[in-house]
Amino acid sequence: MRREMACGEFEKDRGTLKKLCPAKQVGILCAGQSQCLLASGLRVPMNVDRRIFTPIERASYKWKRAYKRRTAIERVNSRLDVSFGFEVHTIRGQGKMQMRCGLALCAASRRE
């Protein structure tokens, strides 16, 4: 039977993610543990595929909290684009754009 490897930790000095044997993580004795090459754990280098292997494990609660923050920010960005008309603009320069976005958000908060 196949099981997903348990989450280890991000090893910053090695630049790897550590995956742990699910049976060992839960405390179950596995019949094939003596022949298993992954019983001690597996290190996945971050340079394999950075989109899949991130410093925060995707199956962790920390990832879920971070992803919720990301979706909240995307809602704000969508409001700026669609509701305030910044999707198609002729503004040049970051300073000018920050000022116009700030003014738009201030005007929106005054309306409510």
> What distance in Å separates the CA atoms of residue 102 and residue 94, rounded to the nearest whole number?
12
pLDDT category of residue 2 using cuts at 50, 70 and 90: low
Averaged pLDDT for residues 51-80: 83
Mean pLDDT across the stretch 70-85? 83
pTM of the model: 0.48
Asked if residue 63 lies in contact with residue 56, where contact means CB atoms within 8 angstroms, the answer is yes
